[in-house]
Amino acid sequence: MQGDGKKIPLSGQELQRLRNLDELLCPSATCMICERNIGKSIKVRDMDSPENVIYCLDCQMRGNTKEGLNHQADCTYFIYDSLKWPLIKADWTVEETLRLFQGIMKCGMGNWTDVAAQFLNSNKSEAECEELYLGFLY
């Protein structure tokens, strides 16, 4: 919903981008190759695999693969961590900033109440969302 109250439907491509963002923000906590817990570790995502293969940095460095998993050692990959570090402002993590963008895309510009409630889980107020977007990002 936009600030003027008009609801804008999202295209299939826009919905897929939102789902992909969720996958990056909430990745698997287990390496899909060696099966160890990587919940608090740096993660690697195989960008070539349709299975969204998430694995540990050790398996990436060693070129490990696993039988039955659609993953090649020489794949295109993306390395990321927990996204709990500041990006633009010291009191906003990367995850919170990405969730702000996701909320604006889904709820509409100016709908800070819904953005804060639905996408930032009450970690940030309406005023904080508006301030970051209009004061730093826009």
Residue 5 has pLDDT above 50, yes or no: no
Instruction: Give which of 62, 60, 69, 61 is closest to 32, Cα–Cα.
Output: 69
- 12, 27, 28, 48 from 72: Cα distances, Å: 29, 19, 19, 9
Residues 66-76 have pLDDT tens digits of 998 988 888 89
For the entire predicted model, the pTM comes to 0.51
Query: What pLDDT, on the 0 to 100 scale, is given for residue 4?
Result: 47
Which of the two residues, 81 and 126, has the higher pLDDT score? 126
Residue 36 has pLDDT above 80, yes or no: yes
Taken in order of first residue, the domains within the chain and their CATH numbers are 27-80 (no CATH), 86-137 (1.10.10.60)
